[in-house]
A and B are shown apart, each in its own frame.
Chain A
Amino acid sequence: MTNKSSNKLFEGPLISEALRQSFVKLNPRIMLRNPVMFTVEIGTVIMLAVCIWIYAGEKSQGGLGYNLAIFVILLFTVLFANFAEAIAEARGKAQANSLRKTREETPAKWVQPVGDIFTDEVKIIPSSRLKKDDVFLCETGDIIPMDGEIIEGIATIDESAITGESAPVIREAGGDKSSVTGGTKVLSDRIKVRVTTAPGESFLDKMIALVEGASRQKTPNEIALTILLASFTLIFLIVCVTLKPFSDYANTPITIAALVSLYVCLIPTTIGGLLSSIGIAGMDRALRANVITKSGKAVETAGDLDTLLLDKTGTITIGNRKATNFYPANGIDPKFFTETAVLSSLADETPEGKSIVELGKLNPASFNLDHSTFIPFTAETRSSGVNLSDGAKVRKGAFDAIRNQVVKAGYPFPKETEERVRMISSNGGTPLVVSRNSQALGVIELQDIIKPGIQERFERLRRMGVKTVMVTGDNPLTAKFIAEKAGVDDFIAEAKPEDKMNYIRKEQQGGKLVAMMGDGTNDAPALAQADVGVAMNSGTQAAKEAGNMVDLDNDPTKLIEIVEIGKQLLMTRGTLTTFSIANDVAKYFAIVPALFIVSIPSLQALNIMHLKSAESAILSAVIFNAIIIPLLIPLALKGVAYRPIGASALLRRNLLIYGLGGIIAPFIGIKLIDLLLGLFM
């Protein structure tokens, strides 16, 4: 659904809502949040007063039409800025609402509690009436009405409504895959789910609140930039206020309209008007990438990340390891070995076990397994297998576990198998040794398949200055091989949950910002410790609470996109600030000669744009200043493209485009507007 949603920046209903909001936001109490634009609003009011004054007969302030024009342009400047914020809000809200809508109007099969015993008496109520800790039932074909945790049963679920991914997923009670999301559909089986969030408190609700003006807090960086912009505003206020005595000294009367226009043109209205929309658009872009952020700060922090912790499985490698080769020991018939290997794995439900059966290409039905007992894998024996009806004991397991068994039984362990085991390990594979009646028969090679294109993504991260760390339960040898092959910078092998935590702490002590992605409850402390913790939507509630972002797609490589979104957000602020300030050069050259055209004719040499008249020069500058805001709204919403070309090169590029461009563009723009005005004036 989200993926299908339009990527067009402006849609009809959004625009009309944003237009309405542009006027609502004229309320001075709301405007006060944005000091730069607030002063423009004051300037607008002053111009209105001047117009009335002239209407009442004042002669010294120029014509009514001219003053009225300035007033209208200033009003539009404020409205444009409001519109920029409103459209960003509207887009974010629309995006979040479309996700939320699905779940509100779904009928829920509420399981009525009778005392402490849950009966199966089910009542159908609208999902909006479900409260936290209520239990509901979902059967094949039902839409899950609310976020929750499965307390009973297992089901395949179509999450395409949220993630856009068509392959169904399995969710079951207990463990790390117990979480379900409202709006998704049960494809088979039946589950009981306990509601985990109170209505209005889900992550989406929080996100909508973040996007909406009321509870949106400025991020630290936004505050710092606002301070800088406010100080520029004050500098230009001083410029304009002191201009009055200066011009008195020079015997040049300056009209209020000219002073207010100069002021509005000089203060950084472009970035001032777009600042809040840039922040909202950042969260909105995250949402479009199917990531729900719990604070604007998290997006900003993402741009600064130094270290990414990534799980190997599913991120760097495709799914799980697969069996790729059978290596029988010397003197063992390959066919017999294959048969034994398959036999050892028939009852093994793990993906590795299944892949062994697949690789054997034997029909499982051809094995006679009557009266056989399966021996499941335990951490103690570190092997699994089957005891056949004829008394034969087939085992497969880790090299040292099987070797112990073999040696204990008094058999020699084949040299070539041992050699092969070492070779497989050093190639990043996992060796599984197969034994029959405590005699080693040979070894199965399991290999990780590295995701195509992952090396390029890591290379891109490296050029951004982000270090990637692979977390895996594999032994160090295997881990090192995969790490090298995939191009990650570091790895944590034989990782226990606390290892992640320790690694994050260690990096943070060195001053680095760390991000990690996790889903399990045992990831929660590390998610909370990380500067950016991305919980997968399929993960447990604890994980989702601990992180500061939730990825609806459960896609671990999403971190890369999040980093880019964060960088784009900061870059958009920086470049538009530069652009806004650089614009002032041209505006000075337009307005200052116009102010003194009568008393100091020699200053006409500064009118390098050859603007027609003083009034047309001032009008052109103010009009340019106003229309540049809506012209830049698309850039503010989409963000400045990030290129991992190194900080200095990036700075040069952006300085050239937005700095030099910011100096040149208004010269052209103001001249064009002046030519256009010349047709009417």
Chain B
Amino acid sequence: MSTELTGIVVTFLLTILLAYPLGRYIARMYAGEKTLLDFLNPAERFIYRICRIDPNQPMNWKEFLKAMLTINLLWLVYAFFIFLYQSHLPLNPDGNPDMTPDLSFNTAISFLVNCNLQDYSGETGVTYLTQLFVITFLQFVSAATGIACLVGFLNGLRAKTTDNLGNFWSIFTKTITRILLPLCVVIAVLLAFNGTPASFAAKDKIITLQGDTVQVSRGPAAGMIAIKHLGTNGGGWFGANSAHPLENPNYFTNMLEIIVQVLIPMGMIFAMGFYIKRKKFARTIFWVMTVGFLCLAIPTIITEIHGNPEIAHMGVAQPTGAMEGKEVRFGPAASGYWSILTTVISTGSVNAMHDSFMPISGLMQLLGMLVNAFYGGCGVGILNYFIYIIIAVFISGLMVGRTPEFMGHKVEAREVKIAALVTLLSAFIIKGGTALAAYYFVYHGNADWAVKPNAWLNNPGYHGFSEMLYQYTSSNANNGSGYEGLADNNPFWNITAGFAMILGRYLPIIGPVAIVGLMAKKKYVPESAGTLRVDSLTFGTMTFAVIIIITALSYFPPLVLGPIAEYLGMH
């Protein structure tokens, strides 16, 4: 096996090796058992005291969601106004300007919802203050929000019948103090030692070997880059994200960043098994997700290693594979692997430009985000997967001759309605948004906007279509990666993508939590020989089939017109 492939395999195995004990720790921590970090108790009690929180106050699903939505709204308002006036605030050594209202709207939502779609460039669009106190702050709390909602959801599954999903505030606080902060400290230190800047100094100036003068942006970046990956946020300190040599200096940091971004999503699956005491269920989900991930990653890696057929037609040899838009220090295999991992989970950080990948790889990246549940984002990955489970449970429950049930609770009209609504929503956002963009591009190409619609696309034809489709897919999946060919910093994209992000974030969280809240209140039906076991391989396969079929049927036409047509045109 080549060194490139070995690197990927080792990285992946290391991830599983680290995620398993982390999952065990997470489960113990939320269950209130003894852990190493119990010395933080006084600090948490202090937080509860000054916030006047009773950490033991039970919350039903409505109270739980209300608490989550209220605090999120507060953060949105806070972020929006700070971006709007950032040039007047301190910690702006480079003198970067205020954001426009539409960009501020988009950026505030983008970081609040764990999406981190960046229509600005880190070097010029934000100040150190907003980087730290808005962006990094939101990266912590948005990740913690997702995880807290998952834990509330699991509390509903944990008890046979309950009305109590736990206290949002206490779960949220513990998520930050006991998972995110400690891990981030370790990661940030490792990054800083490998060359990632961690100072408040302004831009530096270097003179290259050719004699050009280059301004190099810096800043207290290491901590932000740690939580950016750990919290599956993905928004980079620098515009080029993890392709930037200061954000991702070498192969070790590349491994570190790709491992830590999937650490919590994967760890939460194991944590779920320990926490609700259904290890086999968690294992089945882990395998389904892993198979799904590999189905996307392997074709991508192969395609990228084989290089671009158009270049091959010209008679140019590509011994290192398709290198356009990739970093020499990582190569096509590691870049391909990263591009799929970052799209199946909702990080969306990049170490190569997705716009330059081969059509098949682009298709796989899109599919990763359309499914959005192969590991998925912090906490929300399992919540998304749960929607597919509900649909699979419903159909296969019928197929074995029982009215459908999940973990001892009947799945009835209300639960199906919520699951159907969430499924419907993403189809609506992605295709509706793309259709709207295509409509403006075709019929109002010369509209008198800051960027005219007919100038949106860097590439005409199928690839241009993929650029638009990718933007909404990424927004809806709260992924945040993008095809850089799209000129997205203008009101149309800022606002529509903003709404796509906000809907794509909260409804898929509210849906599963509400379903579990409703189900947990129902009476518990014990399992019998006629009950469909949701931890069986058969049911895992069924869920996988449901994911494939729903995704394929919902998005076949746009995928055909984008990456598939591009691919067929090339061959």
Contacts and interface: CB of A to CB of B under 8 A. Distances in A.
A234 B424 contact: yes
A647 B436 CA distance: 45
B539 A648 contact: yes
Given A224-B413, A242-B558, A571-B401, A647 B568 contact: no
A242 B568 contact: no
Interface stretch (A26-34, A59-67, A471-479, A562-570): A562-570
A303 interface: yes
Interface majority SS (helix, strand, loop, mixed), chain B: helix
B249 interface: no
B438 A249 contact: yes
Contact of B416 (A227, A575, A581, A602): A227
B398 A574 contact: yes
A588 B568 contact: no
B40 to A, nearest CB: 40
Interface string A506-537: 00001110000000000000000000000000
A574 B396 contact: yes
A581 B538 contact: no
Interface string B427-456: 110011011101101110000000000000
Interface string B538-571: 1101100100010011101110110011001100
A246 B432 contact: no
A250 interface: yes
Interface in B449-472: 462, 465
Nearest to B416: A224
B330 interface: no
Interface string B189-230: 000000000000000000000000000000000000000000
Contacts of B569: 600, 602
Given A231-B420, A464-B530, A592 B395 contact: no
Interface stretch (B72-80, B337-345, B519-527): B519-527
A238 B432 contact: yes
A577 interface: yes
Contacts of A221: 398, 403, 412
A448 interface: no
Interface string A567-608: 110110111011001101100100010001000101101100
B417 interface: yes
A266 interface: yes
A648 B532 contact: yes
A303 B403 contact: yes
A221 B413 CA distance: 7
A227 B439 contact: no
Contact of A250 (B436, B465, B530, B554): B465
A245 B556 contact: no
Contacts of A206: none
A412 interface: no
Contacts of B558: 242, 246
Contacts of A652: 538
Contacts of A568: 401
B402 A570 contact: yes
Contacts of B395: 228, 574, 577-578
B9 interface: no
Interface residues of B, number: 65
Contact of A603 (B434, B530, B539, B568): B568
Given A228-B391, A592-B560, A655-B545, A647 B530 contact: yes
Given A227-B416, A511-B525, A577 B398 contact: yes
A605 B561 CA distance: 13
B423 A235 contact: yes
Contacts of B549: 581-582, 584-585
Interface string A542-574: 000000000000000000000000111011011
A306 B528 contact: yes
Contact of B432 (A242, A250, A462, A603): A242
Q: Which of A236, A239, A573, A582 has the most CB of B within 10 A?
A: A239
Nearest to B552: A585
Interface residues of A, number: 72
B401 A511 contact: no
Interface majority SS (helix, strand, loop, mixed), chain A: helix
B536 interface: yes
A248 interface: yes
A242 B435 contact: yes
Nearest to A591: B557
Contact of B553 (A235, A248, A566): A235
A76 interface: no
A511 B526 contact: yes
A188 interface: no
A222 to B, nearest CB: 9
B400 interface: yes
B560 A238 contact: no
A245 B399 contact: no
Interface in A583-637: 584-585, 588, 592, 596, 600, 602-603, 605-606
B523 to A, nearest CB: 5
Given A224-B394, A510-B526, A570-B403, A243 B531 contact: no
B409 to A, nearest CB: 9
Contacts of A654: 399-400
B182 to A, nearest CB: 41
B78 to A, nearest CB: 35
B122 interface: no
A29 B528 CA distance: 43
A510 B560 CA distance: 51
Contacts of A659: 545
B511 to A, nearest CB: 12
B557 A243 contact: yes
B408 A650 contact: no
Interface string A647-678: 11011101100110000000000000000000
Interface in B50-98: none
Contacts of A606: 560, 564, 568
Contacts of B556: 239, 588, 592
A159 interface: no
B421 A231 contact: yes
B533 interface: yes
Nearest to B398: A574
A225 B411 CA distance: 11
A180 B7 CA distance: 83
B529 A462 contact: yes
A465 B423 CA distance: 33
Contacts of B438: 245-246, 248-249
A238 B428 contact: yes
B394 A511 contact: no
A423 B437 CA distance: 88
Contact of B524 (A266, A511, A646): A511
Contact of A566 (B391, B401, B560): B401
Nearest to A606: B560
16 contacts: A224-B394, A225-B394, A231-B424, A238-B424, A238-B428, A242-B432, A246-B438, A248-B438, A511-B523, A566-B401, A575-B398, A578-B399, A592-B560, A606-B568, A647-B402, A651-B399
Shortest 4 CB-CB distances between A and B: which pairs?
A465-B530, A574-B398, A567-B401, A231-B420
Given A221-B412, A234-B424, A570-B397, 18 more contacts: A220-B403, A230-B420, A231-B421, A239-B556, A245-B435, A250-B465, A306-B528, A511-B408, A566-B401, A574-B396, A585-B553, A596-B565, A602-B565, A606-B568, A647-B400, A651-B539, A652-B538, A655-B541
Interface of A: 220-221, 223-225, 227-228, 230-231, 234-236, 238-239, 241-250, 266, 300-301, 303-304, 306, 462-467, 510-512, 566-568, 570-571, 573-575, 577-578, 581-582, 584-585, 588, 592, 596, 600, 602-603, 605-606, 642, 646-648, 650-652, 654-655, 658-659
Interface of B: 391, 394-403, 408, 411-413, 415-417, 420-421, 423-424, 427-428, 431-432, 434-436, 438-439, 441-443, 462, 465, 523-526, 528-533, 536, 538-539, 541-542, 545, 549, 552-554, 556-558, 560-561, 564-565, 568-569
